[in-house]
Amino acid sequence: MTFDSLKEVEERLQELYVLLADPKVIADTTRIRELGREHRTLEDIVKVWKEYDTIRADVDEAREIIRDNSDDELEAMARSEVEEGEARLADLERKLHSLLIPRDPDDSRNTIVEIRAGTGGEEAGLFASNLFRMYSRYAEKQGWKTEVMSGTPSEMGGFKEIIFLVTGDEVYGKLRYESGVHRVQRVPETETQGRIHTSAASVVILLEAGEVEVDLDPEDLRIDVYRSSGPGGQSVNTTDSAVRITHQPTGLVVSCQDEKSQHKNKAKALKILSSRLLELRRKEQADQEAAERRTMVAGGDRSAKIRTYNYPQNRVTDHRIKLTLHSLNEILSGDLGDLIEALRLADSAYDPAVVRRG
């Protein structure tokens, strides 16, 4: 649903008030959750839109003072108010446009995140752990929950691979732009001469598959069990608890050994496999329909470098939208909001005129 004026938003809010009080709607947990999410979004839109209108009126009044007044001091104050007001209006335009972007139905769904060390040996594994921490902190700030599905530690305390589930509101909508190769430039702990090395890790964002979206035929699955290996406590290597599932038609292989229970490892492996099959199906459908994303940031080749984290310069650069932020420490601590918002606006072909119609 799109809106061209504040009045339309307020009218839809009134409709939602009525619907949310309907006993039939209250009894439908899925429906009331969807309407509640829309209600919260529209309340945010109204708040921002009203602030925008108020500041725009103040700026117009200040401009009139500049035109009609000969008092130098008063004119200087008015010009300062116009300058500050225009800067605030630009911020509100971007925020309002973001709120008005039509939501993809998948945006509200949960997500499986896969991070794998790439080129760079142990340093790449340490960087993979940095990315895992970054996304975990971001999820915490968003009020989301994370659950590790599978992980393969590296010798120096990083990860060769880490797969985790993220659940909450608008998870896929905010993480969908993170798929791709992330590159780090820094002096590794093992470097004795202070030379900067470049390493990489890949990130894949998958929709959590629903129960009816992927039909796994048991005849298509080869399930192997074996003893877990690597760090994990006294009982990790004493039972055949690790599970490897091969989907024979596609050749996809998923292994899980984090849990001591074979049953739990199997359930996690099946969940990961279902999400990978769903992604494969979505990609095949997109290829068949020649469906291209609206801009280069919406998807893209996962082998492409999308972002560089440069430690010496405290810099993070997203190469898809040519955005550089000098706040590497904050971003690695989970402050991804500005980056993700910029990607969403670029994906929607942001036009300030859109919010000026109201």
In the chain, which residue ranges form alpha helices assigned H by DSSP?
6-20, 23-27, 29-68, 72-100, 122-142, 171-175, 262-288, 328-332, 337-347
My answer on whether 258 and 222 are in the same domain is yes
Q: Are 153 and 283 found together in one domain?
A: no
Domain boundary among 83, 100, 117: 100
Distance CA 213, CA 231 (A): 35
How far apart are alpha carbons 185 and 199 in whole angstroms? 7
**H-type alpha helices, 21-121:** 23-27, 29-68, 72-100
Residues 120 and 199 grouped into a single domain: yes
Nearest Cα residue to 352 out of 95, 125, 36: 95
Q: Is residue 252 part of a domain?
A: yes
pLDDT, the chain, mean: 83
Q: Is residue 358 a part of any domain in this protein?
A: no
- From residue 162, how far is each of 42, 119, 123, 277 by CA, in Å? 37, 16, 15, 19
Q: Would 352 be classed as within a structural domain?
A: no
128 shares its domain with 82: no
User: For the chain, how many structural domains are there in total?
Assistant: 3
Rounded CA-CA distance 272/206 in Å is 9
Final residue of a structural domain among 100, 134, 165: 100
Alpha-carbon gap, residue 172 to 154, rounded angstroms: 28
Residue 305 belongs to domain spanning:
107-208+297-347
Q: Across residues 232-249, what is the average pLDDT?
A: 71
Instruction: Tell me, yes or no, whether 255 lies in a domain.
Output: yes
What's the Rg (C-alpha) of the chain?
A: 25
The pLDDT tens digits of the residues spanning 201-227 come to 999 998 887 654 677 888 889 998 887
Domain boundary among 100, 119, 138: 100
- Domain-embedded: residue 36: yes
Are residues 123 and 201 part of one domain? yes
Asked if residue 181 and residue 34 are part of one domain, the reply reads no
pLDDT in tens, 17-69: 888 888 888 888 878 877 887 888 888 888 888 999 999 999 999 898 888 77
Residue 358 has pLDDT above 50, yes or no: no
- Is there a domain that residue 357 lies in? no
Claim: this prediction has a pTM higher than 0.75: no
**Based on the domain organization, do 29 and 156 belong to the same domain?**
no
* Residues 303, 276 share a domain: no
Q: Which two tokens stand for residue 259?
A: 């849990």
Domain membership of residue 306 (yes or no) is: yes
Report the alpha-carbon distance of residue 357 to residue 115 in Å, rounded.
43
Do 306 and 202 sit in the same domain of this protein?
Answer: yes
Q: Are residues 274 and 319 in the same domain?
A: no
14 and 83 share a domain?
Answer: yes
What CATH number does residue 224 fall under? 3.30.160.20
Residues 179 and 313 in one domain: yes
